[in-house]
Amino acid sequence: MTRDIKGIQMLCKLTFFLCFVLAFTGNATTADAPIVTTIAGGVNGKTGWEASGFSGDGGPASESTVDQPYGLSVDNDGNLFIADQQNHRIRKIDKDGNISTIAGIGLVGFDDFAGDDGPAVDARLFGATDVFAHSSGEIYIADWGNNRIRKIDTSGVIRTVAGGGTNPPSDGGSALEAFFTPYCVAVDDDGTMYIGTYPVYDDDAPYHQILRVDTKGSITVFAGTASGTAGFSGDGGPATEAQLNEPKDVAIGPDGSIYIADLMNHRVRKVDTDGVITTFAGSGDAGKTKWGTNYSGDGGPATEAELDEVRALAVSDKGTVYIADSDNHCVRAVGTDGVISTVAGGVLNDYGSTTSGFSGDGGAATAALFGQPYGLALDSSGNLYISTDNERIRMVAGVESTSVGDGDDGEGDDGDDDADSDDSADPFAGDAPIVQTIAGGVNGLTTWEAYGFEGDGGPASESALDEPYGLSFDSDGNLFIADNTNHRIRRIDTDGNISTVAGIGEVSEGSFGGDDGPATEAILNYPTDVFAHHSGDIYIADQGNGRIRKIDTSGGISTVAGGGKNRPSDGGSALDLSIAPYCVAVDTDGTMYIGTFPYSYEDPEYHQIVRVDSDGSVSVFAGAGTAGFDGDGGPATEALLNEPKDVVIGPGGSVYIADYLNHRVRVVDSNGTITTFAGSGETGDYKSGNHFSGDNGPATEAVLNGVRALAVSDAGNVYIGESSNYCVRGVQDGYIMTAAGGVINEAGETYEGFSGDGGSSIEAVFGSIYGLALDSTGSLYISTGNQRIRMVEGIEYFANEGDDDDSDNGDDGEGEDEGGDGDTVALPSGEVGPMGLDLDPTFGDQGLRQTPENPVSGDKIEVEIFVTEGANGEGGFLAELTWDVQELSYSAFSTQDVFSGAMTLETAGDGKMTLSNVILGGLASKDSGSAGVATFEVVETFSGEAQITLYSGKLGPNDVTIGPGAAYVVIGGNKDVSLTPQQASDFDGDGIVGFGDFLQFASGFGGVEGDSRYDSRLDLDKDGFVGFSDFLSFAAVFGQLVE
């Protein structure tokens, strides 16, 4: 339960009033961003050095003053320790919010060092720069001015444990005989100390090193050269041979790796368990510029980001690294995928530089102003504490959503700011697939200037392309590319080598030639698409020549459609057609589907999909011929299309059309009826939340922009290349999400570029998307205006179980049998459709399960999970139930011994709870039926309708889950219940009327019954309006526990 921290209660109330005014005037805070507040310092109202001082001991920390608060650490009990440097003290904020001094008398003088073996509160400290709370209860202090590491034991006695001698650390021997100037300290579970040291003044020890003191008290150099000289070198080699430059903080990761804040190298360095040092974050340039939506590098690899004086670190138990980017006045975070983002501060001024200052308490952390951040710490609730030169300690609430275990599972210490417990999901896009370039761009350029022709006979990664358009895989795994402006079809074989299979690369007047000869000697004219058929034949949309051409298995080329004068509507022979083909797909029986529209003024003006049967006869399959949008729900032949740029065949025989200028994907079913499959028809250049308009919702409501390419998997998942949104979206079971690209710039629009290889596909930047293809391993290949072919690895997994539909093998994902029609893991970050599991099927139908009678408060509700299909032997199923704690309370779960272990109960936010576990493959099958029963109780305050939602997903090689399936509805709660004021105001159900409840109240303030903003829970006086009287009722119980 959230604690009632008395010391900051009044501050929270004041913050409430401020935010109330903002809400009243319509200036609501960013809903999803973490909130920042000040918890200590600044009582005199100043925000710079004038705010410094010493006061407040014995009272609320919010009414105290501090003077240059540096290092921070949180112990197992939730107490926060502060190295109050210029007050020459270590101070503690207890869990009630009160501040006190635990070490130091606050005076320095001739005898600056004193007090060992006595009470820590009577000792002299000199400019203590860091503090570390160990799981044992002992507190370690970097007593910088006294050249010592000191330790306070559990009885409050202080003593020196390292330093105070005369020997260089490189001499080894006893730590008590060493001379160094410590700036930071971290201690692992076994008691091994890691100490960062560098000279601040001329008489300081001149060593830029990390020292290691083992449990026997022996000292060695852990990182930095033996001489300790400043510089940057050594990445990829032994840490003891590397150079550092002012290591300001040291932190221990959950796997035992050591992270170093290498201040003047503008980097975070990392030493692994083998002693090898590398750069973890930072390009080495001091970052003063911004691109995209954040500082240099946000959304990309941390090693390419620009940092400016890294001063402090904190590492979560999951491995998320928080970085005090001191001169950028912000805190950055690097997830386990290596991608960096800003979590607090970093506001830009009119000149494009980050702004130093103090503002933003009670609002979004990324909109707040900070001075220089000096220290960082994470508590067990995922709150981030930041000490700054504003002479304050500030807290960013819930920056990392946490589920606290029974202790630390890594080498980092439980109660430390450098390895706080956190089992949460990575908040920084850790689950997205990885993107890499496999062809093109050998000249290092990333735009149209990267074009060229070279590389045949060698690795595709060393080649050059010129406008690569359509893509397709054959049954053997070879990738074919319509290399448009090189007038060639090129192939990347399974060894990664590239070659030309058709086209001499030249065009001229009367440019058609080469039929009935070798394809490599033929003249192609801007080929726009290629299709590899399961028979081994290769089909080419030779647009500039107005023909579909085919390369047979002997390598000979011929025309199979086009080159004549007839309209498609005339019927007759395919060789009599006059068309300007842009795309082509061929089904198993050899029936061709050709997309055509006028590309130049000379082209036939038909916006159609033309069908050519296996006997060569022609008919119009879709499109009346003129450009436009019309006809959904009727015959495809009467509909209007507008530049159909791709056509693919689905596993059930449906034909999908990239209706480019209608900004839609259209689908023609086996009865010839056309409908919109995806896209609202508006053009989309913006993003909502973390995705483009429509992500995680129905595909038909999504805003697409320039649908240019398609690929359809054997499971029926549809991938959409959005040329002008610079992204690929995926649709599964009618729901859409972003699979690659779609990064947003400062203006809130998607932007084109090239970055992100080796990182998350949804953090990568793409140019225009030209073509798509899926290989048999479920990897997605994308051709782009960056003159490259890029691969998103393992976006979809295929089980090799054979094909049972009418679609063709060997195609670019368009219904091919490249691995069978077996089970597939969902699209990345997916939130659609049940798979494998269902809820109690006794009541209702169509996925809606309802209680047979109306329960009231105290009644038990049992919900049974059923297995609906066999578990994959390589994985199994994920089962997760979600419900609202204000409606139902969880009692128990009885299992049929098919789960991998005990069920996990977690808080999901917004007053929701989840219960989840994994059913391992082989333990459950369709025949085994019930997997377990969850028991809930109707809470006293419930009346109306509650819902228990089952999220289910099949696990496979990619370990990706999918989302909401069946829902179990509870209708009841007919008992007339009177709520206490505290119960009525605890909107998030966490047991206290706190800041989370305030945010909900502020967001709904001013709502009137009947409009979209109105929330009846917030209408405390039930007058149909969330107004000032409701605010007064809420404020009266703010900070109180719910009885």
- Give the CATH number of the domain where residue 9 resides: 1.10.1330.10
Cα Rg for the chain, rounded, in angstroms? 32
- What is d(CA 456, CA 462) in angstroms, rounded to the nearest whole number? 9
Tell me which of 769, 792, 815 is where a domain ends. 792
The number of domains in the chain is 4
Q: Decide if 81 contacts 102 (C-beta within 8 A).
A: yes
Tell me which of 949, 972, 995 is where a domain ends. 972
For residues 772 and 878, membership in a common domain is answered with no
Strands (E), 33-191: 36-40, 69-74, 80-84, 89-93, 99-103, 118-119, 130-133, 139-143, 148-152, 157-163, 182-187
How does the average pLDDT of the chain come out, rounded?
Answer: 78
Q: Residue 611 has what pLDDT?
A: 97
For residues 887 and 900, membership in a common domain is answered with yes
SS3 999: helix
CATH number of the domain to which 885 belongs: 2.60.40.680
Q: Summarize the confidence of residues 322-330 as an average pLDDT.
A: 93
Q: Is 571 left (phi over 0), alpha (psi -120 to 50) or beta?
A: left
Q: Write the DSSP assignment of 665-703 as a string of letters.
A: EEEE-TTSBEEEEE--SS---BEETTEETTTTSBGGGS-
Neighbour tally for 910: CB within 10 Å: 12
Q: Which two tokens stand for residue 421?
A: 């417990």
Q: Model confidence over 472-514: pLDDT tens digits?
A: 999 999 999 999 999 999 999 999 999 999 999 988 666 789 9
- What is d(CA 194, CA 175) in angstroms, rounded to the nearest whole number? 12
> CA end-to-end span of the chain, whole Å?
12
For residues 151 and 211, membership in a common domain is answered with yes
For residues 947 and 1038, membership in a common domain is answered with no
Decide which of 512 and 552 is more confident: 552
> Does a structural domain hold residue 429?
no
DSSP 256: S
**What's the pTM?**
0.44
For residues 961 and 1008, membership in a common domain is answered with no
Q: Residue 918 has what pLDDT?
A: 61
Beta strands 964-972 and 848-850: pairing type? parallel
Q: With CA atoms as reference, report the closest residue to 278 among 264, 262, 263.
A: 262
> Does a structural domain hold residue 143?
yes
Q: Model confidence over 10-25: pLDDT tens digits?
A: 334 434 433 433 333 3
> Does a structural domain hold residue 435?
no
For residues 615 and 685, membership in a common domain is answered with yes
Strands (E), 148-284: 148-152, 157-163, 182-187, 193-197, 209-213, 219-223, 247-252, 258-262, 267-271, 277-281
Q: Report residue 676 CA to chain centroid gap.
A: 30
For residues 922 and 989, membership in a common domain is answered with no
- What is d(CA 421, CA 418) in angstroms, rounded to the nearest whole number? 10
For residues 208 and 330, membership in a common domain is answered with yes
Element (H, E) at 18: helix 6-24
CATH number of the domain to which 668 belongs: 2.120.10.30
Domain range for residue 313? Answer: 33-396
For residues 117 and 58, membership in a common domain is answered with yes
What are the two backbone dihedrals, phi and then psi, of residue 22, each rounded to the nearest 5 degrees?
Answer: -65, -40
For residues 711 and 766, membership in a common domain is answered with yes
| pLDDT band at residue 866 using 50, 70 and 90 as cut-offs | low
Of 172-176, 483-487, 922-926, 957-961, give the lowest mean pLDDT range.
957-961
Tell me which of 925, 955, 972 is where a domain ends. 972
- Answer positive or negative: Cα dihedral of 458, 460, 464, 469: positive
- What is d(CA 1028, CA 929) in angstroms, rounded to the nearest whole number? 54
For residues 104 and 68, membership in a common domain is answered with yes
| pLDDT band at residue 443 using 50, 70 and 90 as cut-offs | low
> Does a structural domain hold residue 898?
yes
For residues 787 and 850, membership in a common domain is answered with no
Helix 6-24 vs helix 1028-1037: angle between axes, to the nearest 10 degrees? Answer: 170
pLDDT at 136 over 50: yes
> Does a structural domain hold residue 408?
no
> Does a structural domain hold residue 96?
yes
Q: Residue 130 has what pLDDT?
A: 97
> Does a structural domain hold residue 241?
yes
Contacts of 432 by beta carbon, 8 Å cutoff, 6+ apart: 337, 760, 761, 762, 763, 828, 829
Q: Model confidence over 872-910: pLDDT tens digits?
A: 444 456 677 777 777 777 777 776 566 655 667 776 656
DSSP 41: S
- What is d(CA 642, CA 606) in angstroms, rounded to the nearest whole number? 9
> Does a structural domain hold residue 954?
yes
SS3 799: coil
